[in-house]
Amino acid sequence: MARQHPEWRTEVTWGGVVAAEPDTILRQRRSRSRSGDSDKITTTRTGAQAMKTERLETYRVSERVLLSRGDVFRARGGPLWKCDNGTKVPLAAKGPFVFQAYCRRGQCEWVEAIDKAGAHTVLHIAGRRRRASPQIVTRPYVIVGKKRPPKKVDAKKAKA
């Protein structure tokens, strides 16, 4: 049976004291050794402290290409739907995309962008993803590159 201290959210369980900060959740697992003579309590952190989501305004695609907020880029890849007869139907969002942010949580990395229809889109570029259905083949997006802005043409040179 566990008691909780109202101020610091301290849990007292199994005769040991585990202190938790207000923004963290502590998960405890009680396991026995093979001989069965001693109990071992393992504490794993989950929540805000263990899995912080980093949100960055820039993303380096390669040595020369750096995406920042508002840049237009193209991507390929993305998830597929595998039909019963073996054909694959792409579920990927269509580009070009406008870069908003790059996010990372643990091993999972994604880019938040706006597609050409104006919808907010999340492009998973690394890490494992959960499948909603066994027919979905999860493939990461690959950012191909940044689109260059159109060249400005002088009106005098265009007439000549």
Residue 159 belongs to some domain of the structure: no
Rounded to the nearest 10°, the torsion over CA 47, 106, 58, 138 is -110
Note whether 132 and 73 are same-domain residues.
yes
Note whether 43 and 65 are same-domain residues.
no
Residue 157 belongs to some domain of the structure: no
pLDDT tens for the chain, 160 residues long, are 444 444 444 444 444 444 444 444 444 444 444 444 444 444 444 544 456 888 888 988 888 888 999 999 999 898 899 998 989 998 888 879 999 999 998 888 999 999 888 889 899 998 877 777 888 888 889 988 788 777 777 666 666 5
Domain ranges, residue 127: 54-146
pTM of the model: 0.59
Residue 158 belongs to some domain of the structure: no
In the structure encoding, which two tokens stand for residue 160, read together? 């000549």
17 in Cβ contact with 26 (< 8 Å): no
Note whether 29 and 58 are same-domain residues.
no
Note whether 122 and 62 are same-domain residues.
yes
